[in-house]
Amino acid sequence: MMPQTLPTPPITPYDVPDPDWVLIHAMAGGDIRALNELYTRYGPMLLAFLNARVDNLTLAEELVQDVMLAAWEHAATFEARSKVKTWLLVIARNRAINTYRKRRLPVIDISEVFHLRSEDTGPTESMEKNEQAEQVRQAILKLPEAQREVLTLVFYHQLTGPEVADVLGISEGTVKSRLHRAKDMLKRVLNQ
């Protein structure tokens, strides 16, 4: 008996085969283990993303389950035009928008993003860094939602420009301009 070989993952627009495609292919064939593996890989990231969007951990956990169910149900129709991670974030974003269409994206813990916390600092340095982190958080609150959303996806979720464009359904050029404006506005607010 010959071992079953899986088809080669298609090349994404990023010219790199997505190793997660094998999981999607297996899910399309009804393999629940592949779904569990996908959940293990991306569940925590999706939870953080959704919790930032809806600002309610219980609701975010429910939405993660909805995202994974949608991935299971639509695995056979996944066209690999983006990475699996990006596809999951698009589903998550759409679920969050449908849940809280008018809620604003809360500010993330910027101290983690910009590494403002350090375990090897003294009390004075730690206090200064916490004050800086709070100033940055307050400045981010003043950004328009579109700029804040791009900033969050790039710095907190570490997505690339094309991935952010896929998640938000906008052009890569728009991502770059929003990110540039967000950084400029953030600097101006912090320098006031």
- The Cα 19–Cα 126 span in angstroms is 41
Determine contact, residues 146/164, Cβ cutoff 8 Å. no
Beta strands in the chain (DSSP E): none
Q: Residue 52: its pLDDT value, please?
A: 82
Q: Residue 121: its pLDDT value, please?
A: 58
Of 133, 128, 18, the C-alpha closest to 80 is 18
Tell me the average pLDDT across 40-65. 90
- The pLDDT tens digits for 131-164 are 777 777 777 778 888 888 888 788 777 788 888 8
CATH code, residues 21-99: 1.10.1740.10
Q: Residue 67: its pLDDT value, please?
A: 94
Determine contact, residues 95/66, Cβ cutoff 8 Å. yes
Lowest mean pLDDT among 2-16, 35-49, 87-101, 153-167: 2-16
Assigned CATH topology for domain 110-190: Arc Repressor Mutant, subunit A (1.10.10)
Does the pLDDT at position 44 exceed 90?
Answer: yes
For the chain, the domains span 21-99, 110-190
Q: Residue 101: its pLDDT value, please?
A: 59
Q: Residue 122: its pLDDT value, please?
A: 63
- The pLDDT tens digits for 95-141 are 988 886 544 444 445 555 455 555 555 667 767 777 777 777 777 77
The token duo for 47 is 């939870």
Q: What percent of the chain has pLDDT over 90?
A: 26
- The Cα 74–Cα 58 span in angstroms is 24
What is the average pLDDT value for the chain, to the nearest integer? 79
Band of pLDDT at residue 5, cut at 50, 70 and 90: very low
Determine contact, residues 21/32, Cβ cutoff 8 Å. no
Q: Residue 166: its pLDDT value, please?
A: 85
Alpha-helix residue ranges (DSSP H) falling in 29-122: 32-54, 57-74, 84-99, 110-113
Tell me the average pLDDT across 36-56. 90
